[in-house]
Structures are given as C-alpha cells and as structure tokens.
Amino acid sequence: MISDKKYRISNLLNTRLGFYLLAVLLFCIKTYIVYQTKFTLGVKGGLQEFILAINPIPAALLTFGVALYFSGRLSYWLMMIIDFLETVWIFANIVYYREFSDFLSLGIIKGSGNVQNNLGKSLAEIVHFSDFFIFIDILILIGLLVFKVIRVDAQPFKKRYALLLSGLSIILMVGEYGLANSDRTGLLTRTFDNNYIVKYLGLNEYAAFNAYQTQKESATRSHAKASDMDSILKYLDHSRAKPNPVYFGKEKGKNVFIIHLESFQQFLINYKVDGKEVTPHLNKFFRNRNTISFDNFYHQVAQGKTSDAEMMLENSLYGLPQGSAMVTYGSQNTYQAAPAILDQDGYTTAAFHGDVPSFWNRDSTYKSWGYQYFFSSQYYKTKPSYSVGYGLKDKIFFRDAANYIQQLPQPFYVKLITLTNHYPYLLDKQNTDFPATKTGDKTVDPYVQTAHYLDQAFAEFMNYLRKTGLMKNSVIVLYGDHYGISNNHRPAIAQLLHKKTITDYDLAQFQKVPFMIHATGLKGGINHTYGGEIDVLPTLLHLLGDKDNNTIQFGTDLLSRQHDQRVAFRNGDFVTPRYTKVGSNVYLTKTGKLLKPNSKQKAQIASIQNHVTTELSLSDRVIYGDLLRFYTPKGFKKVNRKDFTYQYTKGMEQLKQADQRRPTSIEAKNGNKSTMNLYKTDAPELK
Ligand code: GP9
Ligand code: MN
C-alpha cells in the first residue's frame, strides 16, 4: 500500500508537471517562511494570515509555467533559472528590508544609482548567514536532477495544457486580488505602503506593480519640458499675496512645532458630550490670546489622506486626484519643501511618527523634502501595550519624542504626527475616561474618546514645553489632517450636529479642521478667513520672515489682505465666503440655502470654478512632470537626497555630532543633563 503510494509520487515527479508542481510548492513554502521571519508585514486576523499563506501561489504558477512552453532539458533549466531570479529578488529584499523596513523599488535602484551608498552599514554586516538558506530548494532540485533521482521527462508538454495552466494562474491571481481588496479596499489605487502590497499580493506582484508605476511615472516625466514651467510661473506671479506687515517676520528665528492632529475635525472644538468638553485643552489653546485660530479652514485631501495633507502643508502643492503623491512621486521628484527651506535658514529639521517608516513612503519622500531626521517607530522603545492601531499611543509618542527634541540644536522645525485618533478609534479601557457618543453607529461613537485622549496627550506635551521654556521661543502650529467621520455616516453626523437631516452643504462644511498658530506675544484671536491646507506654508514662511516672490506654492498667506479665499476641494468642488459648491449644486455659504443662481451669480460661480480647476491641474502638472527639477528659486539650494539617512544608529550618531558642533539644544543648555524629569505623563503603560 505504502510503496504503491511512493511509486505513484515518484512517477508523478518524473513527469514535467510533477517537477513543476514540486518547484512551485518549495518556492511558495520558502517565500512564506521569509514573510514570517524576515519581514514585519503587520498581519492581523485569520483572513490576512490566509491571504499571506496563499499569495505566492498564483505568481509562482504563472512564472514557473513559462518553462512549460519549452521542451526537453531546456524546460527544466528554464524553470530553475526563473526560480533563481525570483529568489535573488527575495534575497535583495531581505537585505534591503533589514536596513529600511521597506521593499526595494525600481525607482530606488535606478534613481539613487547605488543603494549601497544609502545603507547605514556595509553589505557584509547586514547580510545574515541564514539569508542564503532561501537558495537551498534550488540546489536540492538541481541535485535531484543531476543525480537522476528525478528523471527529465523528454515528452513535450502539450501547449494546450501550458495555456490552461497560465490561464488558471491568472484567474487565481485575480481571485486573490479580489479577496485582498475586500479586506483592504483601494490597495492599488490608494497604494498606502509597500508592506501592504507584499502582505496582500506577494513579492512578485509587488515587483510588477512597482515596475508599472515607475514606468508610468517616467513616461510623464520624460514628456515634460523646462518651458512647461512658464505657464505655472505666470499663473503664480499673478496670484501671490503680499505679506501682512503686522505679522511678517514676527516669529523669525523661533523653533517651529507642527502638530498633526490625526483625523481631527473642527466640530470637536468646544463640543460637549454629556455636558463635558471633549477636548478641554485644545479648546483653551483655541481661545488663547496668543493663538490665531481659524474657524473656516478646510482639509483638502483625497485618497492620499494623511500624505495629501503633508504634501500640502509642507509644499503648498495639492495631492493627486488618485493615489498618494508621496508614494508615487515622493522618491523621484524634486521638491522645495518646508524642511529644506528652513534647513537652509539654519534650522534643524525633524519629523516624528510612531508608525513604521514605510507608510505613505515617508522614509523616502522625507529625503526629497530635506528632512534631516525622521524619528519613526524604529526610534521608540515599544511593548505590545504601547501601541494601538497603526502605532504608538499618543501619550507615549509625545513623551518619547520630547526625549529626542531636547537633543536637537535650536532653532528647529519639528513635525509630530499623532496616531491614536485614527479610524476605527480603538483605545484600551485603562486609557478611556470619556463617554462615547450615542448615535448607535459603532464606528462613529468612540471618535470622541480617542479625540479626548489626544487632547490629554497634547496637554502633557504643552506642559513640558512650558516647563523647559520651549514655549516662549517656539511657534506652535496645530492642524487636523482630514475628517475622522466619513460622509457614509449621514444619520450619525446628523445626530452629532443635532440636526434632523444632513444636506450636501452640511457635509462640505463638516470638512472643516482646526488650524491654529500660537506663539508668545503673537496677536491672536478667532480668524474667520476662508482657507485650507494649501495655504499653511506661505502663512508660516511669512511669519518666519521668508518672502515668497519666486517659490512654486499654490496657497496664499492666510494673514495677507490679498489672501485668496476660494478653497478648492480635490474633486473640483469648492467653498468661498459666498458659495459652497457640491457636485451640480451651489449653496449660499452663510445660510446653507440651495441657490437657484441668476445670470450674474452664474458668471461668478463659473469664474470660481475655472480658477479652481486651473489651479488643481497646474499643481498636478508640477508633480506629474516633476517640473521643479527645471526651476530652482533664487537663494534655494537643490536638495540632495543622498545627504540623508534615517537608519537608527546613523541617525543617533548624526544627532550626537550635531549637538557637539552646535550645542544649542535644550539638553546642552541644561548642562548636558536630560530634561525628561520635567515631562509628566499619566500614561498607565509607563507606570
Ligand atoms: C499612518 C497614518 C495614517 O502612518 O499617518 O494615515 P491615514 O490613514 O490617516 O491617511
Ligand atoms: Mn490621517
């Protein structure tokens, strides 16, 4: 009985199909082992585990199957060569991932010339002996053939069957994609993170998708010409807003904190649940006489969400109509972003975020933007209880960030991206001390609880700034990146806003997010100017005394008398002090009344629409064509990505050297003693 079975297996292995299936099986098993042991893909739940286990199969069947179209020995060798090449790709990714927590992309291989230059350690140091085990199956298969344990099947494999197998693999691939997309919608359109594509679709699919994207990107790039810049400059020269003398240069030389309030909407300010303020500290900050608080400020993001917000905030360029510009155009394009501008003014520049560095391609894009440091999740001690959702809990994040901030030479430009107030608004019991709302919508109700937690985390950080004196010599900029409650929750939104029904106008106004600028001595107050994320950079630069006569920025200074109050949404809708346009409807902004426009109004609306469409498409042209490579504003030095590395040990070394060269950090001024004793947090995890 047993020998009969053995006989059948060895018979099968002696056929071409049998050998092919064995090679595929071994390849899939090793890929899965690599997934589990060499990468941290963040697999959560049974479905994702299942997808991870099956995702190597369709591509392996398809690619190895190419060999079946050839006959005799050639077919076997071809199979081994394909196996070998794909294994080399895995190997290269293992090594690259160890250093960057990200996967290799063609842009990186092509663009930076040599990857090794950017590696923190030498290749010999980062290649581990165990990495070579992934070649073992190939050696075994070749051995089996050479020693004739498995015989080469000389009979031609029927083309029909080869075709059938190819077809089947493609169907499997599409099916697998469907399954993956049901767990994470927008996988390839919104792009997110290379880790996601590998986790859901596999390393080979990632390679193919990456090749496609890189190719698309370089096609538009190669069509663009230097003269394309002319129309953009002409447009911008027309629309620049002169600085307001009351504010221009008022905060020159101060440190800058950009605090990114995740998914934070304006309606939360002064909002109460059961008579209690959701965000008492932010409310106080909002009312502070040294805070300029905008209450008609809108997010303008599309699919790129956080990354779109970051793109607008630090470049004054719009995100793209589809996907994330940081992911697709972050590595290759030339930028003239806030960190680079301020670096050249003598600032230390650093971004802080408690998520993996690869998300939204930050680890690469930040180099193009000229960030000297990127303190991502790799820089923080972590325990399972320290994280929720995407990463570090805000209270722990702010405290750990402070530990690095105190070491940064001043003046510095620091961006802190919070995380806990992110869909689906998860928070453990011990951190939850605020009542949920009671709309009955499960995704909406805990929103105020994580917002409340964020408020407390923010307050702890502000206390530290006060105690260390940082508050006095810093500008603190707060903004909400985008909505937390999407438009799919109309009934719940109606309840939150105490309204019977919700119109499209209400939803448009629901896109307001906080924008506040605080500095000791700054003339504050509630400012009703209409504006959006695109306007932040010019506003901030004017406060710091940087004139923008020649920069490529699509926003205008919110404090300028010439500020443009027409706020464009990414889909072409808009809000102005007079009109709110959603789809084919126009409402009066003041009252929310649906407008039946007369001919004069029609002309006004058409003119605003024309402006909005032009502005969005010009901004897109800059990104698609990588036009900034053709134009460097006077006084600005082009960013060299190779100047930067965010790898942990390198980063720490660099920080130490910088502090020695220029001992202006808080810690240096404190006699080289840590100021962390001044940081008070009630985070239960740290007790
Ligand atoms: C992830 C975080 C969330 O790192 O910034 O991004 P989002 O989902 O808000 O775009
Ligand atoms: Mn976000």
- The 10s digit of each residue's pLDDT in 224-263 is 999 999 999 999 999 999 999 999 999 999 999 999 999 9
- The 10s digit of each residue's pLDDT in 584-604 is 999 999 999 999 999 999 999
Ligand 1 touching residue 355 (CB < 6 A): yes
Q: Are residues 177 and 60 in the same domain?
A: yes
Q: Are residues 336 and 485 in the same domain?
A: yes
Q: Does the residue 261 lie in any domain?
A: yes
Ligand 1 touching residue 359 (CB < 6 A): yes
Does the annotation list 528 as a binding residue?
A: no
Q: Does the residue 378 lie in any domain?
A: yes
Nearest CA to ligand 1 atom 7: 306
Q: Does the residue 632 lie in any domain?
A: no
Q: What are 417's two structure tokens?
A: 């991206």
Q: What are 66's two structure tokens?
A: 């190419």
- Ligand 2 centroid – CA 31 distance (Å): 32
Q: Are residues 215 and 328 in the same domain?
A: no
Ligand 1 touching residue 390 (CB < 6 A): yes
- pLDDT at position 1 is 52
Domain total of the chain: 2
Q: Does the residue 83 lie in any domain?
A: yes
Query: How far apart are alpha carbons 259 and 540 in whole angstroms?
Result: 13
Q: Are residues 215 and 250 in the same domain?
A: no
Does the annotation list 306 as a binding residue?
A: yes
- pLDDT at position 5 is 77
pLDDT-based confidence at residue 438 (cuts at 50, 70, 90): very high
Q: Does the residue 127 lie in any domain?
A: yes
Residues with catalytic function: 306
Beta bridge partners of 587: 580, 594
Query: How far apart are alpha carbons 2 and 5 in whole angstroms?
Result: 5
- Ligand 1 centroid – CA 525 distance (Å): 30
- Ligand 1 centroid – CA 415 distance (Å): 15
Does the annotation list 128 as a binding residue?
A: no
pLDDT of 426 over the 60 cut: yes
- pLDDT at position 91 is 96
For range 404-433, the mean pLDDT: 97
Q: Are residues 513 and 429 in the same domain?
A: yes
- pLDDT at position 122 is 62
Q: What are 643's two structure tokens?
A: 């100047």
> Rounded to the nearest 5°, which phi and psi values hold at 532?
-155, -175
Burial pattern 533-545, b for ≥16 Cβ within 10 A else e, equals bbbbbbbbbbbbe
- The 10s digit of each residue's pLDDT in 609-652 is 999 999 999 999 999 999 999 999 999 999 999 999 999 999 99
Q: CA of 147: how far to CAs of 26, 82, 136, 143, in Å?
A: 19, 21, 16, 6
Q: Are residues 207 and 259 in the same domain?
A: no
Q: Does the residue 610 lie in any domain?
A: no
Among all ligands shown, which has an atom nearest to the Cα of 304? 1
Between strands 291-298 and 515-519, the pairing is antiparallel
Q: Give the position, in ligand 1's atom list, of the atom nearest the Cα of 355.
A: 4
Q: Give the position, in ligand 1's atom list, of the atom nearest the Cα of 422.
A: 9
Name every residue whose Cβ is closer than 8 Å to that of residue 236 and which is 6 or more positions away in sequence. 552, 553, 554
- Ligand 2 centroid – CA 195 distance (Å): 18
Alpha-carbon torsion (431, 435, 437, 442), positive or negative: positive
Q: What global pTM score does this model have?
A: 0.87
Q: Annotate 209-239 with DSSP letters as a single string.
A: HHHHHHHHHHHHHHH--TTHHHHHHHHHHHH
**Contact in structure between 482 and 513 (CB atoms under 8 Å):** yes
pLDDT-based confidence at residue 6 (cuts at 50, 70, 90): confident
Q: Which of 403, 430, 427, 428 shows the shortest CA–CA distance to 414?
A: 403
**Contact in structure between 580 and 601 (CB atoms under 8 Å):** no
Q: Which of 459, 389, 393, 392 shows the shortest CA–CA distance to 425?
A: 389
Q: Are residues 207 and 291 in the same domain?
A: no
Q: Are residues 195 and 296 in the same domain?
A: no
**Contact in structure between 485 and 265 (CB atoms under 8 Å):** yes
Q: What are 468's two structure tokens?
A: 């260390």
Q: What are 219's two structure tokens?
A: 């096609």
Q: Does the residue 622 lie in any domain?
A: no
Q: Are residues 252 and 175 in the same domain?
A: no
Nearest CA to ligand 1 atom 3: 306
Among the residue ranges 55-59, 103-107, 389-393, 555-559, the one predicted with the least confidence is 103-107
Domain that holds residue 18: 2-220
For range 9-33, the mean pLDDT: 94
Query: How far apart are alpha carbons 484 and 262 in whole angstroms?
Result: 8
- The 10s digit of each residue's pLDDT in 286-343 is 999 999 999 999 999 998 999 999 999 999 999 999 889 999 899 989 999 999 999 9
- pLDDT at position 125 is 73
**Number of residues written out for the chain:** 687
Q: Give the position, in ligand 1's atom list, of the atom nearest the Cα of 263.
A: 9
| Domain at 395, CATH number | 3.40.720.10
Q: Does the residue 672 lie in any domain?
A: no
Does the annotation list 563 as a binding residue?
A: no
Nearest CA to ligand 1 atom 9: 306
Q: Are residues 330 and 469 in the same domain?
A: yes
Q: Are residues 359 and 304 in the same domain?
A: yes
**Contact in structure between 359 and 193 (CB atoms under 8 Å):** yes
Q: Are residues 186 and 312 in the same domain?
A: no
